[in-house]
Every structure is written in structure tokens, then in C-alpha cells.
């Protein structure tokens, strides 16, 4: 099997003025095509942050993500938009479409 997704040395830190929170630090992950994987851990451990970066919703502070051998272009937003349109599909656990459900 070939490597579908490669995450190398991924880091993401959030700031709210004075406070700094490291959500993920130097994460490495490799998934083969056709594999099944699950993320588990306590609340606040970085699961959603990791998935948001892999899904091209958030930009990491450091590290790299590769999909089918192509490095995700986080540094070029117009190219990232095209990459996301052509390669990423997301199904959210909960959706926020407003109170009327539309």
C-alpha cells in the first residue's frame, strides 16, 4: 500500500493576547491508502486541531502535511483553496446552519 497522508513535525499554538496555548506539538502521522484510523484522547488534547489542519481549515505554525506525496501549500492561500476543493471532503459531527436549519 502507498502512503496517502503524511504529517511531519506538526505544531499549532493559539494566542489570546497574553496567554499562549500549545494545541499540538511535533505530531507525526502516516496513513496508508485504504487504512482505517481513529483519534482518541481527552478533551483539549489537540484532536480537533489536528483534523482541522489535515482538512486544510487551519494553518499549522510548523511542520508539513502531504497528501498522495504532494505537500499541502499552507503558505499560499489561493493555491490552498484550490487544493482543498480538489482533495478534501469533510463531514462535521455537528453543523451550524442557524436556528431554522437552513
List, as one string, the DSSP characters of 24-41. EEEEEEEEETT-------
Domain ranges of the chain: 3-87
Enter the CATH code of domain 3-87.
Answer: 3.40.50.300
Distance CA 61, CA 9 (A): 10
| Predicted local confidence at residue 61, as pLDDT | 95
| Predicted local confidence at residue 98, as pLDDT | 63
Distance CA 5, CA 30 (A): 6
φ, ψ (nearest 5 deg) of residue 19? -80, 140
Distance CA 102, CA 39 (A): 30
What is the model's pTM?
0.82
User: What is the tens place of the pLDDT at every residue in 24-73?
Assistant: 999 999 999 888 889 999 998 999 999 999 988 899 999 999 998 888 88
Amino acid at each position: 500500500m502507498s502512503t496517502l497522508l503524511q504529517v511531519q513535525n506538526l505544531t499549532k499554538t493559539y494566542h489570546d493576547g497574553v496567554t499562549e496555548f500549545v494545541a499540538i506539538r511535533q505530531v507525526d502521522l502516516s496513513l496508508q491508502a485504504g487504512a482505517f484510523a481513529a483519534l482518541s484522547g481527552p478533551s483539549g488534547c489537540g484532536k480537533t486541531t489536528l483534523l482541522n489542519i489535515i482538512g486544510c481549515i487551519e494553518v499549522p505554525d510548523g511542520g508539513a502535511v502531504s497528501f498522495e506525496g504532494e505537500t499541502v501549500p499552507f503558505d499560499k492561500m489561493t493555491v490552498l483553496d484550490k487544493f482543498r476543493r480538489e482533495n478534501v471532503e469533510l463531514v462535521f459531527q455537528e453543523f451550524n446552519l442557524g436556528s431554522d436549519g437552513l
